[in-house]
Structure 1
Amino acid sequence: MSKILVVDDEVKACELLKRFLKTKEYDVITSNSGEDAIEKVKNEKPDVILLDVRMPGMDGIEVLKQLRELAPLLPVILVTAYGKIDNAVQAVKLGAYDYLTKPLDNEKIMVTLRNALTELYLKREVRMLRSNLKESAPLFKLMGSSDEIKRVYDQVNSVSPTNFTVILYGETGSGKELVAKAVHNQSLRKNGEFVAIDCGAIPETLIESEFFGYERGAFTGADKRKEGYFETASKGTLFLDEIGNLPRHMQSKLLRSLEERRIRRLGGKKDKLIDVRIIVASNEKLGNLVNAGKFREDLYHRLNEFTIEIPPLRKRKNDIVYLSKRFLDEVKLELNKNVTGFSTSAIECLFDYDWPGNVRELRNVIRKAVLTSSNNEMIEDQYLPIEKSSLKTDSGDFQTTQPLKVEIDGYEGFSLKDIAKKGLSKIEKNVIMDVLKRTGGNKSKAAKILKIDNTTMHYKIKEYGIRYTP
């Protein structure tokens, strides 16, 4: 049964609409203020909102603006008095699904609600399908194609078919769980469960029962038996994120379970054999935590069978354009907005930022930029909610600088002229530098790869002051 939230400061109007919608077998809740409506969306999770525009305090337009951030998929149908249609048109531009005028026509209400719900269910299905596709997508489709990340792919391909325990090191937001899932999906355990746990998010008093499960009556409130993470992940993979946050007493219990490959539920009398692969992750080197007395040395050595280090986004900046476009395509579909791409200044801004929150921060920035940008327009740098920073300018000399490399694979189908037309001079320069490096300084081969003639190649080398020394 679909749930409808009716928002109107007039209590009688709310009740009349509620009574009518209930006869049509909808679950209806009401609210008489904008502030209360926001809370009801958070707590009640309605499928559609019928929202009056004119209300004291927070009006319908302000509620709509907040809902675009809080629940971007939620259809909002504005209700406005006849003669106030300009407000409703403005609201539709802000993301409202549609508007109705008072006095309300019952047939029009039903048609609009049905259409809104149909669109909502389609969007949810698309999101679910995209999520399933993402789960099975190759890692390079999710993380990029830079040399730095290719090394991660190679390590994933090497360790996946084995039963080795893997330690993943990487900063927050760098994609550790994606890599863990890739290892699982390429392993012989891919048909088993992938269970991901944030070791720092479980209260210390509950952590043992969550990991190992419990029998009925094991403690107050244990009214039925429950499986723990180890049993849920049986014949699959258990991913322990931020394992450095695991309490010391739990570290010893984890070590025993891994050594003996058996667990015992709280309140249980018999051990249970476990068959599970362990992948752990940390944003700090576990060896350093051992030296600081925060992590058991014996557990560290038990886990340290294979290590993968995931580079931060600032050290693989040539993945930024690919990832930004990928996130843009995802959010356009989610929000049903036709944002056409990124302006030159926006791309330069994305390149120049250091991304302390890594890929997770980039994704959030693109989501907010699409939300605040207009349809049929490019994302400009002012829509990117990041602090502007600058990078050192390349001198063009391979011997003395570390240039911002751009993978040629990311520009398939484009000639150098196409790239230049986009105004991406920084990228154009680094493409030339990268190709010259690959060809050992052979300008004719480089020109052929870039689909330009030798005269243009010489001109570009001179224009950018590029000096290649093998």
Structure 2
Amino acid sequence: MVNNILVIDDDPAVRGAFKLILEDEGYNVREAECGEDGIAMAQSLRPDLIFLDLRMPGIDGVETLRRLKGMDDSLNVYLVTAFATEFMDQLKAAHDEGLQFELASKPLSASQIKNIAQVVRIAKDHEARRANHHKLVLTLYVVSLNAETRRLVEQISAVLTGIYEPGHWVFDVVEVLGMPEKALEQEVFATPMLVRDLPKPVLKLLGDLSRMSSVMAAITTQTQSTGAQTVIV
């Protein structure tokens, strides 16, 4: 979620307006009156969103943008100015350098300021969900399913349901019907290794399964980060 917003503008009235509007929406807003101060603030605490003026004393907004992006290319920067035409050549040069930014014209209404923050917030939320996305494919090979095995399989399914969102996990149980050669043909034992990123409740239940004579083969998992691996139980 977007929490920290930095406003870099030499006009205290502009900074005050942004602060009033955004804090009313629950954001933490910091103010900088020049590019140098804004860069120092961004270094001390990474902002989720930066509103940056172009015409300022000292280094202008384009140079401030360049230095901010040099620190962290992923910063979300909105250039807010009434002098876009005056800075057009510099803005084009910055774009050609590969610097990513958005451009908005002053004056911005309260609703426009809120909408910009909301758009960035939604994008950040989607990014966070993608980063936390953990696709799990779990396969249990057993000699045959009996009442005890079924009970633990149901417990594993319940734990996975509580941890992962629908569609982010698959749990398959394969009966090999007393034929270990079938498991060997499928290379179940090809890469024995402990998958440490399995949730601890699942690992505990797998440990319970490993003590059953009806569980003969392995647990295979596939995650987004590690690819396919196998756990011998």
TM-score (norm 2): 0.51
CA shift for structure 1 position 191: 4.0
Indicate the residue corresponding to 2:111 in structure 1. Answer: 107
Q: Gapped runs of 5+ residues in structure 1?
A: 134-156, 162-185, 194-234, 236-470
Distance of aligned partners of 1:128 and 1:57 in 2 relative to their CA distance in 1, 3 Å threshold: farther
**Residue number among 116, 120, 144 corresponding to 1:116 in the alignment:** 120
Is the 2:18–2:113 Cα contact (8 Å) retained in structure 1? Answer: no
Letter in 1 for 2:13: K
Q: Which amino acid aligns with 2:30?
A: I
The residue number in structure 2 matching 1:3 is 4
Tell me the amino acid that sits aligned with residue 118 of structure 1.
I
Letter in 1 for 2:57: P
Which residue identity does 2:126 align to in structure 1? L
- 1:102 alignment partner AA: K
Q: 1:10 to 1:190 in 2, by over 3 A?
A: closer
Contact 1:5 1:50 in 2 (8 A): yes
Q: Kindly indicate whether residue 75 of structure 2 is the aligned counterpart of residue 79 of structure 1.
A: no
- C-alpha separation in 2, matches of 1:20 and 1:45: 21
1 CA distance for matches of 2:195 and 2:112?
55
**Paired amino acid for 1:111:** N
Please state which structure has a larger fraction of its residues in strand.
2
SS of aligned partner of 2:69: helix
Alignment partner for residue 194 of structure 2, among 157, 177, 187? 187
Q: Which amino acid aligns with 1:5?
A: L
Equivalent pair of 1:75/1:120 in contact (CA under 8 Å):
no
Q: Counterparts of 1:433-452 in structure 2 under 5 Å?
A: none
Give the number of aligned pairs.
144
Higher RCO structure (Cα 8 Å, ≥6 apart) = 2
Query: How big is the shift at 1:60?
Result: 1.5
- Aligned alpha-carbon RMSD (Å): 3.1
Taking the aligned partners of 1:18 and 1:39, their CA distance within structure 2 comes to 19
Partner of 1:203: none
1:127 and 1:60, CA in 2 relative to 1: closer, same or farther beyond 3 A?
farther
**1:218-277 CA distance string (max 9 Å, x none):** xxxxxxxxxxxxxxxxx9xxxxxxxxxxxxxxxxxxxxxxxxxxxxxxxxxxxxxxxxxx
Partner of 2:129: 125
Whether 2:60 is the aligned partner of 1:63: answer no
The match for 1:42 is 43
Partner of 1:100, secondary structure, is strand
Match of 1:12, as an amino acid? A
| AA partner of residue 108 (structure 1) | Q
In the alignment, residue 78 of structure 2 is paired with which amino acid? Answer: I
Flag the structure with higher helix content: 1
Measure, in 1, the Cα distance between the counterparts of 2:41 and 2:10. Answer: 15
TM-score by length of 1: 0.27
After superposition, the Cα gap between the structure-2 partners of 1:104 and 1:90, relative to the gap in structure 1 and judged at 3 Å, is farther
Question: Gapped runs of 5+ residues in structure 2?
Answer: 136-188, 205-233
| Letter in structure 2 aligned against 1:24 | E
Q: Is the 8 A contact 1:92 1:99 kept in 2?
A: no
- Is the CA contact 1:100–1:109 (under 8 Å) kept in the aligned structure 2? no
